[in-house]
Amino acid sequence: MPNGLPMTKNKHINLSQGQKAYFISDHHFGLDAKIPSQMREKMFVQWLDMVKHDTGAIFILGDMFDFWFEYKRAVPKGFIRVLGKLAELTDSGIPIYFFVGNHDMWMRDYLSTELNIPVFFKPEIFTINKQTFLLGHGDGLGPGDKSYKFLKHIFTNPVAQWAYRWLHPDIGLALARYLSQKNKLISGEYDNHFHGENGEWLFLYAKNYLKKHPGIDYFVFGHRHLPLKMPVDEKSVYFNTGDWLNHFTYLVLDGQTMKLHKFQ
């Protein structure tokens, strides 16, 4: 099957009257950007408290962490506020779905076993209130970016991951943090400039996918760090969730309507 195409069956979610679905990505917790990580973590917890009253599902579309590597019995230190709040929401019955990004692609089963959050490693198709969504982080999709695609193939290789786990966690996690922030093939350039219809790789991916697999109402990705809404054809729309480094944006499915919002 072509790289990046969904591998599993369509998943169905029916929102009750008054419920909403939320889509968010690219928090990069652990990276002290314009606003320090801990402050952004507190903002995200506030956002989760804000949306929990009417949410029917929350989709986290990757790069919640600026780096993440799971050992069998060790995970990165920190993020306690965020992880505790997510656990509180899933314990209350709110479904949360997590898609790995290029910074947290080494996720294993920590979120699923400790927080009851399903983790997806490829784009997936969901039907929400009879509308069809193709959801994913977006890294490695579309034309171009060949160097990263080659690097991702190495990073996701089970043998390479097994070998890396032989490093002591103090060394392995420190190295992962360094590479996450310093290696531009991994971290990306976070280009906030719009490149037009012929230069936005995820939009081109959506157009090409729709030609072969019609029937997608919404393509929703992260990774781009730029909130976007672009019609793919007369019935389908590509959205990008933006980020929580500069834009603090997210998407809301309110009944039958998709809208971009900014957290104030």
Residues in CB range of 82: below 8 A, 6 or more apart: 29, 41, 44, 45, 64
CA 10 to chain centre: 18
Residue 8 falls within a domain, yes or no?
no
Number of separate domains in the chain: 1
In a domain, residue 174? The reply is yes
Q: pLDDT tens digits for 109-164?
A: 999 999 999 999 999 999 999 999 999 999 878 676 655 555 555 566 677 666 66
Indicate the residue type of 164.
Answer: Y
Question: What tokens appear for 98 in the block?
Answer: 């997590």
Residue 5 lies in a domain: no
**Residue 154 resides in a domain:** yes
- Report the CATH number that the domain containing residue 82 is assigned in CATH: 3.60.21.10
Q: Chain centroid to CA 140: how far? A: 13
In a domain, 142, yes or no: yes
pLDDT digits (tens, 9 = 90+) for 55-113: 999 999 999 998 887 777 778 788 999 999 999 999 999 999 999 988 887 788 999 99
Is 204 part of a structural domain of the chain? yes
Residue 2 has pLDDT above 60, yes or no: no
User: How much is the pTM?
Assistant: 0.85
Residue 123 Cα distances to 36, 51, 166, angstroms: 30, 24, 30
Q: Are 63 and 222 in contact (CB under 8 A)?
A: yes
Is 146 among the domain residues? yes
The reply to whether 196 falls in a domain is yes
Provide the residue range defining the domain that includes 105: 15-262
pLDDT (0 to 100) of residue 41: 96
